[in-house]
Amino acid sequence: MNNQSYEQIISSIDTRKPAPENEPFRQYYFIERARRRLAEISERAGRPLTFNVVTFGCQMNARDSEKLRGILEEIGYRKVETEDADLVLYNTCTVRENANTRVYGRLGKLHSYKKKNPHMMIGLCGCMMQEDHVVTKLKESYRFVNLIFGTHNIYKAAELISEALDHPDRMIIDIRQSSDRMMEQLPVDRKYPFKSGVNIMYGCNNFCSYCIVPYVRGREKSREPIEIIQEIEGLVADGVREVMLLGQNVNSYGKTLENPVSFARLLEQVVQIDGLDRVRFMTSHPKDLSDELIEVMAKYPKICRHLHLPLQSGSTKILKDMNRRYTKESYLALVDRIRAAIPDISLTTDIIVGYPGETEDDFLETLDVVEKVRYDSAFTFIYSRRSGTPAASMEDQVPEDVVKDRFDRLLALVQKTGREQTSRFTGQDKDVLVEQVNEQDESLVTGRMDNNIVVHFPGDGSLIGKIVTVHLDECHGFYYMGHRIETV
Ligand code: 5AD
Ligand code: SF4
C-alpha cells in the first residue's frame, strides 16, 4: 500500500458517519475509530497501552501476525514482547493436539495478568478458533476472553478490535465458514525490514487424511498475479531483498484463477522484479511439483536453492491411506529429477510417525527414503489424532510406546544424515543475507545462505539486511561458522 494515499484516506475519515460498506475502506474507518477510543482509554490510564501478538504454528500464521501487528500499531497500541500487555492476541494453530493444549495452558496465566490490569483484553484468532468444540469450551470455561475470531475474517480485525474496545465486558465471537475477502491493502508490521512473506494463495484442497488444514483454512484461493507482483514491488521499494511466497501447496497455485497461471510462470514474473535478490517459497506438494517448475528454478539464480518437500511417509501403502497421491518410487524419482537439474539444492521435509496402520515395515520404508534422499533437515512429528479428519476414526491407531520408539529412531537418522549433508559446503564461499546480531555472542552476526542454512561470522549490526560473501570454515551440525570475504 502506498503510505501517502493511506494517510490521506485515514485523515479524511469521519467516525461520526456510519462505516462504509466496501473493503478495505471499512477497515480504515474502524482503525480510525479504534484509534480515537484507545486514545481516550490511554488518557484515563495515564500511559500508552501495549499489545503483544503471539504466533503459534506455520509461516502463514507468522505472516498474518505481521498484519495484525500492523493494524494494532496503526490503532495506537505500543508493541511489547511480554504477555502482561493491555491487549494479548494469540494467533493459534491446531495442526496437532499439543498446539491446542498449549493455548489452554497459557490462557490461565493470561487470566492472572488480567485480574491485575483493568485495561487488559485477551483475543484469540487463527485456525484453532475454526473448531466448534474449541469455541464451545472457551464460552463455557474461559469467559474472561474478550475477542474470538477465525481465519476467514482476519481482514476484519480492526472492526472487531474496535467493537471489543467499545464493549470490554462482552465476549465478542465472530467465526465464518468461508470468505471471498483476503487480508490485503492493510497496514503491516514486518518482523524483518529486508525480507518478507507474501501470500500467493490461501486454503488447501488436498484433504490429506490426517490433516485439519482444509477444514480450518477452507478451499484453495489464489491471488491474481498482478496483485502479487504489485505487492512485491511495493516491498522492494520499502527495502525488501528476499520474499517467501506462501501457500499450503504453492504448486497448485493459479489453477482456480479466471485466467489460470502456473506457479512456475508466476515465479518467472517475480524474478524479473528489479531490486529483488532472492525468492523462496513454501510449501510444495510432491504430487504437483512440475518439470516446468524444476526448469524455472534451475534457470534463475534468484530462486533460492532450497525445496521443502514434505514426505510424510516413505511407505506407498501409508501414502495411499494418507491420500497423498504419490508413491515412494515417484517421490524418489522426483528427487532425482530435481537433483539432476539443480545439483547443489538443499532438500528439507516433514515426516509423520505412527499414522494409523503403520507397521514396522512401513516405518522402515520411511527410514529408507531418509537414507536415500539425504535431507539437509527434517521436521519430524508424532501423528496427532485431529477430530473431524478421516484418519481420526481409523481403528488401528499405533500404540504410544511403538510410536515413541520409531520417532527416536527416525530423529537419530535424520540428525545423522542432516549433519553429513549440511557439511558438504565446508570450505566454499557463499552469499549470506545477514539477519541479526548473534544472540549469544555480540561479536558475531547471523544470516542465511540461499539454501536456508544458517551461518554465523564476525561482524556487526551495520551488516543487517546486506548480502555478503562468507567463507564457510566449519560446519557444526546444522549451521556454519565462517568469515566474511566481501560485500556483494
Ligand atoms: N499429526 C502430526 N503431524 C501433522 N501434520 C499435519 N497434520 C498432522 C497430524 N494430524 C504435519 C505434516 C505437515 C506439517 C505442517 O504438520 O507433516 O506437513
Ligand atoms: Fe494438510 Fe495435505 Fe493440505 Fe498440507 S497438503 S495443508 S498436509 S491437507
pLDDT band at 181 (very low <50, low <70, confident <90, very high): confident
What single letter denotes the amino acid at residue 96? R
Cβ atoms of 90 and 105 within 8 Å: the answer is no
Which residue puts its alpha carbon closest to atom 7 of ligand 1? 211
Q: Which helix (H) or strand (E) holds 103?
A: helix 97-116
What single letter denotes the amino acid at residue 318? I
- What is the number of the ligand closest to the CA of 248? 2
pLDDT band at 16 (very low <50, low <70, confident <90, very high): confident
CA-based nearest residue to 330, from 297, 296, 370, 289: 289
pLDDT, position 5: 65
Burial class (CB in 10 A: 0-12, 13-18, 19+), 100: buried
pLDDT band at 2 (very low <50, low <70, confident <90, very high): low
CA–CA dist 223, 245 (Å, integer):
11
Cβ atoms of 72 and 38 within 8 Å: the answer is no
CA–CA dist 382, 355 (Å, integer):
8
Ligand 1 centroid from CA 310, angstroms: 10
> Which ligand 2 atom is the nearest neighbour of the CA of 205?
3
In the structure grid, which three cell numbers stand for residue 111, read together?
487470566
- What is the number of the ligand closest to the CA of 208? 2
- Say yes or no to pLDDT of 4 above 60: no
Neighbouring CB atoms inside 10 A of 21's CB total: 7
pLDDT, position 17: 85
Q: Is the dihedral of CA 197, 184, 177, 218 positive or negative?
A: negative
Look at strands 454-458 and 306-308 and give their pairing.
unpaired
pLDDT, position 1: 54
CA–CA dist 345, 376 (Å, integer):
9
Ligand 2 centroid from CA 151, angstroms: 16
What single letter denotes the amino acid at residue 84? D
CA–CA dist 475, 347 (Å, integer):
17
Cβ of residue 312 lying under 6 Å from some atom of ligand 1: yes
Stretch 253-269: mean pLDDT: 96
* SS3 label, residue 38: helix
Strand partners, 429: 471
Stretch 44-52: mean pLDDT: 97
CA 411 to the chain's CA centroid:
23
In the structure grid, which three cell numbers stand for residue 461, read together?
549490526
CA–CA dist 71, 123 (Å, integer):
14
What does residue 60 show for φ and ψ, rounded to 5 degrees? -65, -45
CA-based nearest residue to 40, from 140, 162, 125: 162
Provide DSSP, 225-269. Answer: HHHHHHHHHHHHHTT--EEEEE-TTGGGTTTTSSS---HHHHHHH
Peptide bond preceding 24 in cis form (omega within 30 of 0)? yes
What does residue 276 show for φ and ψ, rounded to 5 degrees? -90, 130
pLDDT, position 3: 54
Cβ of residue 383 lying under 6 Å from some atom of ligand 1: yes
Question: Model confidence over 393-421: pLDDT tens digits?
Answer: 998 999 999 999 999 999 999 999 999 99
How many helices, marked H, and strands, marked E, lie in the chain?
A: 14, 19
pLDDT, position 7: 72
Cβ atoms of 131 and 139 within 8 Å: the answer is no
Q: Which helix (H) or strand (E) holds 159?
A: helix 157-166
Cβ atoms of 97 and 386 within 8 Å: the answer is yes
> Looking at the whole model, is its pTM more than 0.75?
yes
In the structure grid, which three cell numbers stand for residue 263, read together?
506457479
Phi-psi region of 139 (alpha: psi -120 to 50; beta: other; left: phi over 0): alpha
Cβ atoms of 445 and 434 within 8 Å: the answer is yes
Strand partners, 199: 246
What does residue 448 show for φ and ψ, rounded to 5 degrees? -130, 140
CA-based nearest residue to 478, from 458, 457, 459, 455: 455
Q: How high is the mean pLDDT of the chain?
A: 95
Cβ of residue 213 lying under 6 Å from some atom of ligand 1: no
CA-based nearest residue to 231, from 272, 283, 185: 185
Question: Model confidence over 434-486: pLDDT tens digits?
Answer: 999 999 999 999 999 999 999 999 999 999 999 999 999 999 999 999 999 96
Ligand 2 centroid from CA 411, angstroms: 22
Cβ of residue 363 lying under 6 Å from some atom of ligand 1: no
Stretch 370-388: mean pLDDT: 96
pLDDT, position 190: 94
Question: Model confidence over 274-314: pLDDT tens digits?
Answer: 999 999 999 999 999 999 999 999 999 999 999 999 999 99
Ligand 2 centroid from CA 404, angstroms: 23
Residue with cell 508493541: 79
Stretch 324-352: mean pLDDT: 98
